[in-house]
Amino acid sequence: MDKLVQFGRSLMQPLLAVIVGLAAGAIAIVIVGGSVMETYAEMWKGAFGSFYFLTNTLSRATPIILIGLGVALAFRAGFFNMGSEGQMVLGALSAAVTAIYLPGSGLVKLIAAIIAGIIAGGIWSAFAGWLDARFRMNLLITTLLLNYIATLFAGYMVSYPLKDRTGSAAMAQTVMLDQSVWLPKLFKGMSLHAGFILAVVGAILLFLFMRYTVKGYEIRMLGGNPLFASYGGVQRGKMMLISMFVSGGFAGLAGSVEVLGTQYRYLDGALTSPGYAWSGIMATLLAGSHPLGTAVAAILLAALQTGGMGMERNTEVPLEVSSIIQAVLILFVSAKFTYSFIKRKKARS
Amino acid sequence: MDFLLDASLFASTLRMVTPILLAALGGAICARVGLFNVGLEGLILIGAFSAIVGNHFTGNVLAAVLIAVLCSLLFSIIFGYMSIHLKANVIVVGIALNFLALGLTTFSLRAIFDVKGAYYNKDMVGLPKWDIPLLKDIPWLGDVLSGHSPLVYLSILLVIGLQYFLFKTVTGFRLLASGENPTAARSLGIKVSRIQYGAVLICGVLCGLAGAQLSLGNVTMFTEGMTSGRGFIALVATMLGQSNPIGVMASSMLFGFMDALSIRLQGFALPTHFTMMLPYIVTIIAMLFFKDKGYIQEARKSNESSR
């Protein structure tokens, strides 16, 4: 019973934030002169209204979940990894290159491409971790800077050496991947692909890992109290490299499944402009770095985004209402510490 | 090298660096009181947008700049309230504010001007260009230093002013003390949270000016997300300069110079991607040599983690 109450209380905060977020969105809708109920109904329809829209939302959620998981792991270890964007882009590029140039059967290429994506993202992320562990360069800053370098590098690769010269379109993109390496779709005619299953399995595995393994405990300890962790014999530098590698690996995987399951090629800007990386970070913040919660929050954010698109198609209300809702959501969840703070104050008096 | 490093290169450095410098000064003040402000990007964006709004409705540049400052100020109050009063994690609040700024500006762009992407109106007046009387007649120096917007000169004055304020005045020492060791400062009777609020508000003003320079100084228009990472670069400049106004100016200048140089280098056969990478790579290398000492620890002291 106690556990149930505790669980309910932990749900209260996000729920409250959702309500406040929707209220803020309602104000915005009223300002542009739309009808609140009608607009939200359109939004709901755009996100979950039919099986097609539902799968659409879930396929948009796929990279967000994976990135969120990676960021959650890093957050739990006490590292602010802001470099998911660069890690994702490099992962996507490596996956595309592997799938195009590696000889072998479709399945071998597919698995190799996914692994290549994970390794590329992981190494890029671990590089930032290494800079911090070895030279004490602030991780938050280096990961941000490495984002720009990674996206520009990937942009160069697909504009010059790897550019698709077969088609007439002058887009900066690689050639189309062979159909044999495509990630299978889960339902015929729907955009949802097998990457979603990878994301869900990843969330469950990460949850179990953090909860029940020694390494997971060490990571949580490092994030919770670095001094205690170092007394306990946890080596910060080594843990940093490992957790940053895994964190970046998740981001790389996100890029790979996007390339192998949705785009079927690396197209410059296709991963950065929808803001998957920042959405992933938002999902993590919303869920307080809980792996399963991150997955749920990612689906919620994806629903807000696809719902916003549906809303824009059918009403006069602009898409940006959904980004306002998202931002207010985060802002209110970040005040989580508040409530415990108020409680502490009350207890003292 | 003559054709590469001429006066106009340095002049454009100065022009491009001003928004970054102003915001970085704001970030430095915040860092000095132990608040690591990741929300600079959002604050600049709000400033840039409200400057355009002010310009559109009043047609007066001064009023536009004031409105920009006011709106950024309001926004920074949210940051202060969340992070000082409610004790939320500053980095999380900063990130959330960036999102809110991006969402609000694109939304208001649709709601107020009914356009998507960018707003441009040829009737809008940009910031005036000031020719400094004596200076502009000096051959090379005049080309570099003269003919900028007032905010460019203001930013340089602010560097000197802030340096003096932080290290030579009593209030400045109190500010440093409340960042260095909040508990000790409190026991001396310094109102730490009031000083923190003050710092956040100064940061808001500076970011508003930065935004105004961005949307009214360099160009006279607003585009969605036009800060494009400048706030984060300002954050880097804050850190590289070790939250020291003069150091912050030096590191912003380094970045601005590399930025201007990279645009210049595009005229050569180099691929643009690599020239655009240059500022970021140089910054990472510079970080190797100028490691921040105090302020990360300060930030860590007042907030469980800074990363």
The C-alpha atoms of residue A221 and residue A247 are separated, in whole angstroms, by: 17
Distance CA A272, CA A91 (A): 13
CA nearest to B232, candidates B79, B37, B81, B7 = B37
Residue with tokens 């491009």: B16
By CA distance, what is B36's nearest residue in A? A140
Inter-chain touch B107–A281, beta carbons under 8 Å: no
pLDDT of res. A166: 76
Q: If you measure CA to CA, which chain A residue comes closest to B79?
A: A331
Task: Note the pLDDT of residue A251.
Answer: 96
Report the distance separating Cα A124 and Cα A241, nearest Å: 11
Distance CA B226, CA B154 (A): 22
A341 vs B235: CB contact, 8 Å cut-off? no
Per CATH, is B7-121+145-295 categorized as 1.10.3470? Answer: yes
pLDDT at A129: 92
**B5-10 long-range Cβ contacts below 8 angstroms, 24+ apart:** B7/B140, B7/B143, B7/B144, B8/B143, B9/B260, B9/B261, B9/B264, B10/B144, B10/B257, B10/B260
| Structure tokens that stand for A264 in this block | 């079927």
ipTM score here? 0.82
Quick check: A341 and B86 CB within 8 A?
yes
Find the chain B residues whose C-beta atoms sit closer than 8 A to any C-beta of A: 38, 78, 82, 86-89, 91-93, 95-97, 99-100, 102-104, 106-107, 110-111, 116, 229, 232, 235-236, 239, 271, 273-274, 276-277, 280-281, 283-284, 287-288, 291-292, 296, 305-307
Predicted confidence at residue B304, as pLDDT, reads 42
pLDDT in tens, A122-160: 999 999 999 988 888 888 888 988 999 999 999 998 888
CB A57 within 8 A of CB A299: yes
SS3 string, A190-223, reads: CCCECHHHHHHHHHHHHHHHHHHCHHHHHHHHHH
Question: Rounded to a whole number, what is the distance in Å from the CA of A28 to chain B's nearest CA?
Answer: 8
In 3D, which of B152, B159, B150 has the Cα closest to residue B28?
Answer: B159
* Angstrom distance (rounded) from CA A324 to CA A330: 10
Q: What is the DSSP string of B137-201?
A: GSHHHHHHHSSB-HHHHHHHHHHHHHHHHHHHSHHHHHHHHHHH-HHHHHHTT--HHHHHHHHHH
For residue A301, how many C-alpha atoms fall within 13 Å in the half-sphere facing its CB? Answer: 35
Task: Check if the beta carbon of residue A218 is closer than 8 Å to that of residue A145.
Answer: no
Taking the CA atoms of chain B, what radius of gyration do you get in angstroms?
19
Judging contacts by C-beta atoms under 8 Å, the chain A residues touching residue B107 are 28, 318, 320-321, 323-324
To the nearest whole Å, the CA of B134 is away from the closest chain A CA by 41
* Distance between CA atoms of residues B267 and B4, nearest Å: 10
Residue of A nearest to B84 (CA): A338
pLDDT for res A338: 46
Nearest-CA residue of chain A relative to B231? Answer: A144
Would you call B100 and A144 a contact, using CB atoms and an 8 Å cutoff? Answer: no
pLDDT under 50 in chain A at which residues?
337-341, 348-349
Burial class (CB in 10 A: 0-12, 13-18, 19+), A166: exposed
Burial class (CB within 10 angstroms; exposed 0-12, middle 13-18, buried 19+) of A314:
middle
Tell me the domains of chain A and their CATH numbers.
34-348 (1.10.3470)
Count interface pairs A-B at CB distance under 8 A: 134
CA distance A331 to chain B (A): 5
Contact B38 A148 (CB under 8 A): no
CB within 8 Å: B291 and A152: no
- Please state the domain extents for chain B: 7-121+145-295
A80-B48-A334 Cα angle (round to 5): 30
Q: Which helix (H) or strand (E) holds B223?
A: strand B221-223
- What integer pLDDT is reported at residue B303 of this predicted model? 44
Q: How far apart are CA B270 and CA A205, in angstroms?
A: 46
- In chain A, residues with a C-beta closer than 8 Å to the C-beta of B292 are 138
Take residue B24 and report the two structure tokens written for it: 């970085």
Residues A152, B274: C-beta atoms closer than 8 Å: yes
Contacts of B110 in chain A (CB under 8 A): 32, 318, 320
Residue ranges in chain B whose pLDDT is less than 70: 1-5, 135-136, 142, 269, 291-307
B107 → chain A, closest CA residue = A320
Identify whether the C-beta of residue B52 lies closer than 8 Å to the C-beta of residue B120: no
Chain B contact probe: residue of A135, A330, A332 with most B CBs at under 10 A: A330
Nearest to A74 by CA among A210, A204, A199: A210
Q: Per the CB < 8 Å rule, is A320 touching B110?
A: yes
Q: Do A32 and B271 touch (CB under 8 A)?
A: no
Asked if B43 contacts B26 with a C-beta cutoff of 8 angstroms, the reply is yes
The pLDDT value recorded for residue B177 is 86
Q: How far is CA A94 from CA A59, A171, A180, A181, in A?
A: 21, 19, 18, 14
Cβ <8 Å between A331 and B110:
no
Q: Decide: A293 and B73 in contact? Cβ < 8 Å.
A: no
pTM of the model: 0.86
| Residues A195, A182 contacting (CB under 8 angstroms) | no
* Minimum Cα–Cα distance from A79: chain B residue: B307
Contacts of A148 in chain B (CB under 8 A): 229, 276-277, 280
Start-to-end C-alpha separation, chain A: 29
CA A133 to chain CA centroid, Å, is: 25
| pLDDT of A190 | 82
